[in-house]
């Protein structure tokens, strides 16, 4: 029986690379950079971003791994622009830990009931 994605382990984001948006300073990781995505609804206060401050409402969270670092980004659901989550970047020596980091980030930021 093939593995199916569960809420705890999101499937890899296989979308084409996003066009440059407000996060112009981010390196171009291309389609080969591992990432995970999940739709979230943050609690009161939203998610703080480096580019535009607080974002609220229905968002997509993307956890990316490139060059030994993990980076969290959010976008308004189905929008084109991605924003770096303030404080959401750290060294990650083992790319196999990407799933765990993404699961923790979703658990911390997804608060649909407040």
Who wins on pLDDT, 33 or 101? 101
Give Cβ neighbours of residue 101 (< 8 Å, ≥ 6 apart).
Answer: 63, 70, 92
What is the Cα–Cα distance from 112 to 96, expressed in whole angstroms? 28
Which residues is 83 bridged to in the sheet?
74
Classify each residue of 75-87 as buried b or exposed e, where b means 16 or more C-beta atoms within 10 Å of its C-beta.
beeeeebbbbbee
State yes or no: pLDDT of 11 exceeds 70. Answer: no
Q: What percent of the chain has pLDDT over 90?
A: 70
Note the pLDDT of residue 32: 66
Whole-model pTM: value is: 0.73
In this prediction, residues 81-96 reach a mean pLDDT of 97
Q: Where are the domains of the chain?
A: 35-109
């Amino acid at each position: 029986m093939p593995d199916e994605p569960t809420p705890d382990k999101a499937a890899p984001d296989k979308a084409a690379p996003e066009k440059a948006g407000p996060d112009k300073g981010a390196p171009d990781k291309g389609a080969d950079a591992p990432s995970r995505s999940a739709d979230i609804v943050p609690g009161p206060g939203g998610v703080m971003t480096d580019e535009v401050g607080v974002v609220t409402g229905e968002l997509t969270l993307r956890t990316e791994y490139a060059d030994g670092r993990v980076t969290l980004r959010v976008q308004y659901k189905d929008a084109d622009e991605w924003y770096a989550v303030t404080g959401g970047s750290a060294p990650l020596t083992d790319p196999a830990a990407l799933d765990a980091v993404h699961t923790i980030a979703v658990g911390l930021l997804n608060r649909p009931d407040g």
